[in-house]
């Protein structure tokens, strides 16, 4: 057992042997920024201020060797063998909203495609549930383990909307897409995630979604254009087949603005989106651009690599890869 002090959090937390610092922090109610919880996204990147931390293997994309040598770690892959202190890097994401847990009621379940539904949750007496566009929440349906889904609505709406795609063998997604009915109570906890809209950015925006990654992208673009209708937005939605495409009415509505372009890219394996972006911006990205990317990990990695090769700094790529529980290896096992 170790005592860990986190900059910006008033009480030290206790981290048990074999427990990651991130897990201990979340269990203690700390709104620690995080995403994949598997060492792949970099959202939980932190600086070790004192003490020793044991870091399990992580992706080079999430934490480079240079960052590691500079004293940075990923809290989701870090074990504390002695008392230590850390500071997380993405401070702005958590300064906005406190973690909140509330009971909601299913207001509607609306098919979006053959395997994806929109679940709308009414926030009754327990609200409000505040978040920044692009963040996600953990949903607990009756008798099932919690699962993470991104809010598709803008933060100022009275309901929370989620796009849930049926994953073969996935108990929660199968239940949500096939058996969920209005009136069911759902526990919502959050908000989480650091791939959220940066309100201090005023340049062009690349909004890039794969599959049901359209949910956070929809939230970001809706919020952005509500506050700045003149903003240049380049929106891409990659899907596997034409039957997987959705949101056509919303996309068509966006293109009424001369400042917004939208593309729906159909690819057999969902990986073609990065090639389309590389071709579209072969002459260079618009000056001052930021990118928001959400979807399956392979698509997010490929798109992020292309954006990086086109000259976009890592700090201007805000990516949310949709990892499943199967993507989260145990730290102790590694």
Sites of contact with ligand FES (CB under 6 A): 34-37, 39-44, 62, 74, 76
Q: Contact 265/237 with Cβ under 8 angstroms?
A: yes
Q: Which is nearer to ligand FES, 2 or 44 (CB)?
A: 44
Give least dist CB 57 to ligand FES, A: 12
Residue found by looking up tokens 């506050």 in the block: 227
Distance between terminal CA atoms of the chain? 20
Give least dist CB 78 to ligand FES, A: 9
Q: Which is nearer to ligand FES, 119 or 331 (CB)?
A: 331
Residue found by looking up tokens 């990654």 in the block: 213
Q: Which is nearer to ligand FES, 18 or 182 (CB)?
A: 18
Q: Which is nearer to ligand FES, 31 or 39 (CB)?
A: 39
Pairwise CA distance, residues 34 & 43, whole Å: 5
Pairwise CA distance, residues 293 & 143, whole Å: 32
Q: Which two tokens stand for residue 217?
A: 């992208």
Give least dist CB 234 to ligand FES, A: 26
Instruction: Give residues with Cβ within 8 angstroms of 315, minimum separation 6.
Output: none
Give least dist CB 174 to ligand FES, A: 26
Q: Which two tokens stand for residue 273?
A: 């989106």
Give least dist CB 73 to ligand FES, A: 10
Q: Which two tokens stand for residue 292?
A: 């928001």
Q: How, if at all, do strands 45-50 and 84-88 pair?
A: antiparallel
Give least dist CB 323 to ligand FES, A: 8
Phi, psi values for residue 92, rounded to 5°: -70, -25
Q: Which is nearer to ligand FES, 233 or 331 (CB)?
A: 331
Q: Which is nearer to ligand FES, 7 or 248 (CB)?
A: 7
């Amino acid at each position: 057992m170790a005592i860990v002090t986190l900059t910006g959090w008033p009480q030290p937390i206790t981290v048990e042997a074999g427990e990651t610092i991130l897990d201990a922090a979340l269990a203690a109610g700390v709104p620690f920024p995080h995403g994949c919880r598997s060492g792949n996204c970099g959202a939980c990147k932190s600086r070790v201020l004192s003490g020793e931390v044991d870091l399990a293997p992580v992706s080079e994309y999430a934490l480079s060797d240079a960052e590691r040598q500079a004293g940075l770690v990923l809290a989701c892959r870090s074990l504390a063998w002695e008392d230590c202190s850390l500071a997380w890097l993405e401070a702005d994401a958590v300064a906005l909203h406190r973690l909140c847990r509330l009971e909601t009621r299913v207001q509607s379940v609306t098919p979006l495609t053959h395997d994806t539904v929109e679940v709308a949750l009414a926030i009754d007496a327990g609200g409000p549930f505040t978040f920044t566009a692009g963040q996600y929440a953990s949903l607990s349906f009756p008798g099932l383990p919690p699962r993470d889904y991104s809010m598709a609505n803008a933060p100022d709406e009275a309901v929370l909307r989620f796009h849930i795609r049926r994953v073969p063998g996935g108990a929660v997604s199968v239940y949500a897409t096939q058996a969920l009915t209005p009136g069911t109570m759902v526990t919502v906890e959050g908000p989480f995630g650091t791939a959220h809209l940066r309100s201090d950015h005023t340049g062009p925006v690349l909004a890039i979604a794969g599959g049901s990654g359209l949910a956070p992208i929809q939230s970001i673009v809706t919020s952005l254009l509500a506050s700045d209708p003149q903003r240049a937005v380049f929106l891409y939605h990659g899907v596997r087949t034409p039957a997987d495409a959705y949101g056509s009415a919303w996309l068509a509505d966006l293109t009424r603005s001369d400042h917004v372009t939208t593309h729906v890219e159909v690819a057999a394996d969902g990986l073609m989106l990065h090639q389309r972006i590389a071709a579209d911006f072969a002459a260079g990205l618009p000056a001052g651009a930021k990118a928001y990317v959400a979807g399956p990990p392979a698509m997010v990695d490929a798109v992020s690599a292309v954006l990086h090769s086109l000259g976009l700094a890592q700090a201007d790529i805000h990516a949310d890869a949709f990892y499943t529980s199967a993507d989260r290896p145990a730290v102790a096992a590694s």
